[in-house]
């Protein structure tokens, strides 16, 4: 093993037997953490290498993130010819990334020649990404995502960045390609870096936020993205918590602080509770398809839910399981509710997330949950004094007694002023007395 000390709290070990495997040893407040980073996902054997690299990058993002946020390339007409719109695109909320994948299909040569080739294809990838965004700003295009649904994408609706993704098994050490500014954030990654980020965060929205965050930083050597990630994660862990008034969520509100970047991979706990949140996202995604919700609205709701901080997903998943078990124990004929909500600030406004579990899933319970979300949305908006910036997303689960699935799911979303009348506020407040939740 060869070892490199990067800081007082971070070491990197590379196996001399297989240099594709890297181990990072990180000192955290909770103790020493070892993160073993494998090579990139294997390419499918039945396709040409370049296309296989595109499919593998798509699979990583769709498996560890959500397939709804990963879009395939499309052709659009330009004059008498056609232009390809990226190799893949990531879209979540108001952010988008054009992914250009470059694969080394011949046997690597000497290091200087490989660096020259990497520099050349990186510059080409950045120009292609810039062209894709320019084309989308001139004319919207219909793009198909990993769920098989189509979204009309207008370039001016998103904040864009470019990612040059390199499929290369023998990148020379300390290779950091540079490129001319293209008018938007941009960076280069290897496929192993890409796979690491999705495996670490298990959230497309979180990966996009990270990519935008580091794109403005100086370039680093290809393959060192896990190192940069853990350096930023350590800085997040050491940062003082942001002040927020817990009374905004009502009496008994509690303050929680969690780093943006978790040092422990998502889902690395002793339980599979983090999968509950993914299952809820999947329920919401498929149920809105069945209900015929407009694709742009469906993806907006999914990205709102996907903003749940990665560091808290296992805790929230376990809480939902506990609440489901509790409400299922209610005596026959009675309905029991358990709820928890969270308020957090994001760059484009304020988000309130509400989770409720109920004993059964009938029209009366559903109507009650709708009033609960609208009331809490109204109350928080009034307390904050800026209802226009508030978005509230509520999810209710109820045990499914038919055995086809573990629970039934309902979603309610409220944006901006509630427009509830004083009479409605009073009626809902009697049904749902104010109680504590969490503010972050």
pLDDT in tens, 203-246: 999 999 999 999 989 989 998 898 899 889 888 888 776 666 65
Q: Give residue for tokens 């009502």.
A: 250
Q: Is the pLDDT of residue 192 over 60?
A: yes
| Local confidence band at 160 (pLDDT 50, 70, 90 cut-offs) | very high
What are the residue ranges of CATH 3.40.91 in the chain?
Answer: 49-225
* pLDDT score for 141: 94
Q: Is the pLDDT of residue 250 over 70?
A: no
Q: Is the pLDDT of residue 80 over 60?
A: no
Answer whether 283's CB lies under 8 Å from 289's CB: no
Q: Rounded to an integer, what distance in angstroms lies between the CA atom of residue 413 and that of residue 373?
A: 8
**Torsion angle defined by CA atoms of residues 127, 128, 131 and 132, in that order, rounded to the nearest 10 degrees:** -140
Number of helices and strands in the chain (H, E): 10, 19
| Local confidence band at 63 (pLDDT 50, 70, 90 cut-offs) | very high
| Local confidence band at 161 (pLDDT 50, 70, 90 cut-offs) | very high
H helix or E strand, kind and range, residue 33: strand 31-37
Task: Tell whether domain 49-225 is in CATH 2.60.40.
Answer: no
Mean pLDDT score, 361-377: 95
**pLDDT mean across residues, the chain:** 87
| Local confidence band at 1 (pLDDT 50, 70, 90 cut-offs) | very low
Q: Rounded to an integer, what distance in angstroms lies between the CA atom of residue 3 and that of residue 12?
A: 6
The two three-digit tokens of residue 130, written as one number: 């810039």
* pLDDT score for 3: 43
Rounded to 5 degrees, what angle do the CA atoms 334, 402, 298 make?
Answer: 95
Which of 195-199, 288-292, 369-373 comes out lowest in average pLDDT? 288-292
Answer whether 414's CB lies under 8 Å from 279's CB: no
Per residue in 260-284, pLDDT (tens digit) is 788 878 767 666 788 899 999 999 9
């Amino acid at each position: 093993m060869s070892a490199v000390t990067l800081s007082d709290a971070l070491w990197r070990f590379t196996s001399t037997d297989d240099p594709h495997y890297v181990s990072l040893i990180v000192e955290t407040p909770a103790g020493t953490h070892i993160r073993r980073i494998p090579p990139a996902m294997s390419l499918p054997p039945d396709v040409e290498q370049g296309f296989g690299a595109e499919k593998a990058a798509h699979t990583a993002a769709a498996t560890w993130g959500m397939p709804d946020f990963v879009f395939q390339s499309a052709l659009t007409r330009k004059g008498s010819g056609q232009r390809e719109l990226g190799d893949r695109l990531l879209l979540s909320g108001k952010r988008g990334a054009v992914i250009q994948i470059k694969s080394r299909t011949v046997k690597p040569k000497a290091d200087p020649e490989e660096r020259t080739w990497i520099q050349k294809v990186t510059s080409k990838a950045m120009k292609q990404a810039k062209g894709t965004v320019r084309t989308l700003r001139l004319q919207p295009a219909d793009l198909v995502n990993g769920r098989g649904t189509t979204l009309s994408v207008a370039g001016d609706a998103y904040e864009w960045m470019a990612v040059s993704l390199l499929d290369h098994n023998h990148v020379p050490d300390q290779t950091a390609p540079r490129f001319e500014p293209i008018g938007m954030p941009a960076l280069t990654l290897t496929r192993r870096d890409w796979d690491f980020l999705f495996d670490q965060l298990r959230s497309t929205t979180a990966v996009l936020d990270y990519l935008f965050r580091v794109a403005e930083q100086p370039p680093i050597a290809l393959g060192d993205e896990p190192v940069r990630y853990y350096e930023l994660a350590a800085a997040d862990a050491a940062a003082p918590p942001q002040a927020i008034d817990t009374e905004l969520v009502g009496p008994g509100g509690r303050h929680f602080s969690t780093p943006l970047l978790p040092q422990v991979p998502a889902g690395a706990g002793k339980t599979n509770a983090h999968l509950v949140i993914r299952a809820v996202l999947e329920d919401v995604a498929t149920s809105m398809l069945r209900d015929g919700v407009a694709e742009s609205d469906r993806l907006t709701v999914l990205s709102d839910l996907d903003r749940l901080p990665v560091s808290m997903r296992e805790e929230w998943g376990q809480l939902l399981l506990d609440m489901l078990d509790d409400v299922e124990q209610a005596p026959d004929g009675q309905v029991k509710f358990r709820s928890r909500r969270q308020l957090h600030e994001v760059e484009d406004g304020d988000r309130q997330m509400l989770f409720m579990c109920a004993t059964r899933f009938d029209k009366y319970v559903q109507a009650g949950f709708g009033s609960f979300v609208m009331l809490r949305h109204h109350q928080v908006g009034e307390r904050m004094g800026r209802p226009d910036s508030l978005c509230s997303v509520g999810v209710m689960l109820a045990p499914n007694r038919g055995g086809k699935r573990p629970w039934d799911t309902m979603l309610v979303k409220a944006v901006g002023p509630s427009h509830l009348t004083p009479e409605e506020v009073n009626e809902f407040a009697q049904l749902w007395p104010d109680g504590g939740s969490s503010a972050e």
